[in-house]
Structure 1
Amino acid sequence: MINTYNESALHETLKKLYALESNGIMEVQLDDTPWICDILDENKNVIEIQTSNLSALTEKALYILETGRKLKIVHPIAENKWIELYGSDGELLHRKKSPKKATIYDSLRGMTKICPLFLQENCELELLYCDISEMRRKTEGLSQNQTNSRRHLKDWLPMGKRLEKISRKEKFSKKEDWEKLIPESLRQKDEKGKFPAFRAVDLKREMAKEKGAKSSRWAPLLIWILVKMQILEITEVKGRSKIYSVSS
């Protein structure tokens, strides 16, 4: 089946929560396709919970939108995260808070394929800023994970994630929502009603001022995505530098 996965506690909790809120049914087959949607709400629209790579939903999302259904994609962001390490016997060895605080910019890499769908009329991305606990099981030696994706072996294996709290929600359903990812100084019209022109280096500088240095490193990818979504446009090319502005 296309959507086979190892469902985490985080995914399961959010699925049950949104099914309850929408008076929906969980795990419903989409028509005669192999796809199973997370939730079919009381109006026969779809809610998908995607805890990691958003682009993994691209084909299913495209099909859902082509049928005329509304689609809400729910994506949790670990604004605060705790690491729990367990022994082989299931005993909690220690729990510590991670210094990392994720933002929407950390999720951009997972949007490169699906991002054009976010501006379709019936598509909405809902970000959940959460407190999350990440559970790990200690191993005797260095281990590879199930997907063989570790470049450096570690002495633990992932056990899943657990939702502790939802702090706030942020919805993206129209162009203006996505424009807010651009620093205010680069999206304010002048007296002639024109958006300012800027280079990638200008965006990085302004993001560092407004959003913080950690977020500014995503400036090139943010430009790439917003150009693909036709929210930014290339207005001029000077040598090897491209000049951008918000699309009118």
Structure 2
Amino acid sequence: MINTYNESNLHKTLKILYAQKHNGTTEIPFKNFIADIIDEKGNIIEIQTGAPSRLKEKVRVALENKTEITIVHPVALEKIIETYDENKKLVSKRKSPKRCSVYSALDGLTGLAPFLSDRKFTVIFLEVIICEQRIKTAEPVQLKNKSRHFKKAWYKTGKKLLEIKGENVFNGKKSWLSLIPHELLKGEFSSKDVREKLDKASSSYANVLLWLLFHGGLINFIRTEGRFKIYSIKK
């Protein structure tokens, strides 16, 4: 869809793209917050490159006011890391071994569990290829927000969108339940069952998936068998 988009800020780039796509206006006041985009129908679109749960209050306010709200969350299928020296000269370029997916993004969604079944609430997991830009430092450094457990000899300066590969749209009960392997939906299942049916890369997220669906009111807890909780789909 896009070969390259030379914006230094991933959030800004996606905001422009989605505003254009939905004939929307950016940075519009709505109740007690500023919406990233309000489209031509008056619906809200929020671009969230960090954990979507940070938008819990915005989602709550929008839904209480009967307004549709969509969160667009980029999921990096592939990440290119460019490292520059302090004179902004490129010193290395490599692919990160880390690959993200819809399942790996679920951890950042737990705060929004109460809204999953609301048809006015949509999450778009946007599959992307991005470039992360870093500056190499002479000595290991801490970040300004003190978030590093160990100092490193580089810091990030931004992310750039290289390509959009596709959208995974989740809206309403049926779409969220599609994350559970189809053959398990008619009976009872545990996290072990889900883990065994998912591919290797996704299987480690079985527990957070079931936690999210349970707290979203989409599955029932039946009983405990040994170390595992048993669930079924809520009718």
The answer to whether 1:225 aligns with 2:225 is no
C-alpha offsets along residues 11-30 of structure 1, whole Å, 9 cap, x if unaligned?
A: 00000111111111111111
C-alpha offsets along residues 94-147 of structure 1, whole Å, 9 cap, x if unaligned?
A: 111112221011111111111221321211111110111111111111111222
**Which residue does 2:4 correspond to in 1?**
none
1:79 match: secondary structure: strand
Q: Give every structure 1 segment of 4 or more consecutive aligned residues whose post-TM-superposition deviation is greater than 3 Å.
A: 238-241
**Which residue does 1:57 correspond to in 2?**
55
Q: 2:76 aligns with which of 69, 72, 78?
A: 78
Report the count of equivalent residues: 229
> 1:239, CA displacement in angstroms?
5.0
Q: Which amino acid aligns with 1:178?
A: W
Cα distance in 2 for residues equivalent to 1:238 and 1:115: 25
Point out the more displaced range, 221-230 or 115-124: 115-124
Point out the more displaced range, 107-116 or 161-170: 107-116
**Which residue does 1:118 correspond to in 2?**
116
The answer to whether 1:206 aligns with 2:204 is no
**Which residue does 2:202 correspond to in 1?**
215
Query: Aligned Cα RMSD in Å?
Result: 1.6
Q: Which runs of 5+ in 1 are unaligned?
A: 1-7, 188-194
TM-score (norm 2): 0.92
The answer to whether 1:196 aligns with 2:187 is yes
**Which residue does 1:92 correspond to in 2?**
90
* Identical amino acids, percent of aligned pairs: 37
C-alpha offsets along residues 220-243 of structure 1, whole Å, 9 cap, x if unaligned?
A: 111111101122211223355321
TM-score (norm 1): 0.87
Cα distance in 2 for residues equivalent to 1:200 and 1:41: 39
**Which residue does 1:24 correspond to in 2?**
24
Q: 2:66 aligns with which of 65, 68, 73?
A: 68
Q: Which runs of 5+ in 2 are unaligned?
A: 1-7
Higher relative contact order (CA 8 A, sep 6+): 2
Contact kept in structure 1, 2:192 and 2:228, CA below 8 Å:
no
1:132 match: secondary structure: strand
1:37 match: secondary structure: strand
Q: Which amino acid aligns with 1:98?
A: S
Cα distance in 2 for residues equivalent to 1:141 and 1:220: 39
**Which residue does 1:128 correspond to in 2?**
126
C-alpha offsets along residues 4-56 of structure 1, whole Å, 9 cap, x if unaligned?
A: xxxx610000001111111111111113x2x1110111222111000111100
